[in-house]
A and B are shown apart, each in its own frame.
Chain A
Amino acid sequence: MPSLKDLKNRINSVKSTRKITKAMQMVAAAKLRRAQEAAEAARPYAERMETVVGGLARAVKGSESAPKLLAGTGSDQRHLLVVMTAERGLCGGFNTSIVKLARQHAERLKGEGKTVHIMTVGRKGRDQLKRFQPDTLGDDHVDLSGVKRLGYEDALSIAQGILGRFDEGEFDVATIFYARFQSVISQEPTAQRIIPADFDDTGDEAERAGTLTDYEPSEESVLADLLPRAVATQIFTALLENAASEQGARMSAMDNATRNAGDMIDDLTLEYNRTRQAAITTELIEIISGAEAL
């Protein structure tokens, strides 16, 4: 049976934990709002980019001169998986669920006899993958821990790294893994193929985009110019979604933690009061029996 002092200490420590988790939850809520705003603000560019490149891609697809970024290298033997996770933990299953998806993907590809290479963005994913996939994890790692506000520059440098390696012929297919933000309680880990470019073949838009639009200088050169930008844009969108998801996940994880701490404090307080009452009763019995003995 713990003494009164022990109980008091434990209650105090849980109380300070609750204060911390509560503060973290509020910070995450504020950051989430900012991250959502950033994701929202980036949407017009990404949407236009996708319509334009999508329309062009459909027009050029199948033709001999289609750029490699669109048509692929003709093989799908070597895969690059870009796993984007957070730099920090304490955000529930956020990092784990992304890593899990990437791992399943890697195992499946390996089962098919393909070569898999993993590149990581964000420290947490790297730490986890080191344990599960030490052989496929290269030295490629992008550290975003110093980045306060995600900018297009960050995405651009990642994209340039990937594109450079593609040009060198290091891989055939690149897929990015990130969590798509749905709501504070739900973030969906997503795999998205970025090289070769993957566009939905929706009939309507294909027809619309195909109508009489002139391309200057030419369809091929516009496409060759736009595809690398499209890759960077996709990565940027993924980074922003990821940032919002991370804060959302942290917010709900910290909300849970705060609630659990509250429950624990209630239980401990009850136990504390009981123990105190028991001590008082024992003391009274001792006094009364002492008085009777006189």
Chain B
Amino acid sequence: MASATSDQAPRTQRHLSRTADNGLKIVVVGGFGVGKTTLVRSVSEIRPLNTEETMTRAGEGVDELDRTSTKTATTVAFDFGRISVDDRTVLYLFGAPGQERFWFLWDRLFSGTLGAVVLVDTRRLADSWYAIDRLEHHGTPFVVARNDFGDASQHTDAQVREALDLPEHVPMITCDARDRESAKGVLIKLVQHLYALSTAARGSTHQ
């Protein structure tokens, strides 16, 4: 809490603890311009970095846009940030586009992820439909975060839930992705959700 005064992640890249040995992944997914990178930046201990992955896949019946060749190369760029949880555990946050054409990459890139944050703009809820559908299909736990940019939204949670066709068991939270405490709250909401699922799956011996 001593560092709560800094509203921006340090520009210089701090190195990890020498004992760090367990990397964790959380994915932030959403449409373009919804604030994925902003959210990552708000909580990351490094300035968000960007990298890309290029992959090919066999073209049979998977891509109607490409009938001329048997293979399709797709490049997806993604931002990421980092949070050192303790001396051994490091949490990586990935911001990635939720559009349909990227999802076959997700399966590979983000397998083993703890869970996902679906960041939504209430003015463009349809941008999130596909991502939510795929996360449910994959059984990846997720929460929905409404990025209201500090403005009170004219939509109630119930309205947004209905528009997203969001099941009752999926937590929803309102946030301002620019605000560190608010962005932190989104991640805490997700991990609390994961914790509840994990304890329930293990016969709730933990409380």
A and B are partners in one complex rather than unrelated chains:
no
Residues of chain A at the chain B interface (Cβ within 8 Å) = none
Residues of chain B at the chain A interface (Cβ within 8 Å) = none
